[in-house]
Amino acid sequence: MMEFDTEVAKRLQQKLSSNLVISEIDLSRVKYVAGLDVSYSRDRGIAVVALLNYPHLELVEYVVVGGEVRVPYIPGLLAFREAPLLIKACELLDHEPDLLVVDGHGVTHPRKFGIASHVGVVLDKPSVGVAKSLLYGRVESLGGEKLIVVGDLVGGLVLNRGKKELYISIGHKVNLNNLRILSKTLFKQHELPEPTYLADKISKEVRTSATKR
């Protein structure tokens, strides 16, 4: 692993966060949704972007990009470990995604700029984060909803999926109303949203295939 300066990375997040936009996307205009996830085989990352049509959530295409990962896992700085491979994979898609669904957090982050926000800002695409655990903020119950609050910002929702809870957050160019709709329309029979479920499934299949060679 390379020597990684966490303080420089945090300052970069704070700088990039000035480009973050929270606004409502017209979901009726969304044609393609991309799920982004990374699996690991030792020091190599296997990034997958699975592109699905929306709202039917059928797989249209996927891209796999592998590469050495030189940044260690540090909570709050996941983007520096995974975003380079994910961004490269997105750029290789034949179809342009209208919305990115990223395995990780968006504004529910110590500097309000998690990997979902990072990738969304860099690619200038609407994005949401979906994570299996809470990274930052507090959960408040209001009107039958569980909201994730960071400072004075309501940045996400807690979803009950089977026996698990998922944390869906604003990434870039979406708002809380969008999350409410997406929390109902991004899922099929799996606990994860269909885009990240398929990205995760494909990345693990590629990893298994590679280790058998």
Domain residue extents for the chain? 6-211
Indicate the pTM of the whole model. Answer: 0.95
CA distance 147 to 189: 24
What kind of fold does domain 6-211 have according to CATH? Answer: archaeoglobus fulgidus dsm 4304 fold (3.30.2170)
Query: What are the two backbone dihedrals, phi and then psi, of residue 46, each rounded to the nearest 5 degrees?
Result: -120, 100
The tens digit of pLDDT for each residue in 98-153 reads 999 999 999 999 999 999 999 999 999 999 999 999 999 999 999 999 999 999 99
The tens digit of pLDDT for each residue in 52-95 reads 999 999 999 999 999 999 999 999 999 999 999 999 999 999 99
Predicted confidence at residue 2, as pLDDT, reads 55
Q: Starting at the edge strand that comes first in sequence, how are the strands of the sheet with 44-53 ordered?
A: 59-68, 44-53, 32-41, 99-103, 127-131, 164-172, 153-161, 145-150, 138-142
Tell whether the model's pLDDT for residue 212 goes beyond 80. no
Residue-wise burial string across 196-211, b where 16 or more C-beta atoms lie within 10 A, e elsewhere: bbbbbbbbeebbeeee
Cα 176 off chain centre by: 16
The tens digit of pLDDT for each residue in 8-52 reads 999 999 999 999 999 999 999 999 999 999 999 888 999 999 999
CA distance 35 to 62: 9
Q: Are 175 and 22 in contact (CB under 8 A)?
A: yes
Predicted confidence at residue 209, as pLDDT, reads 78
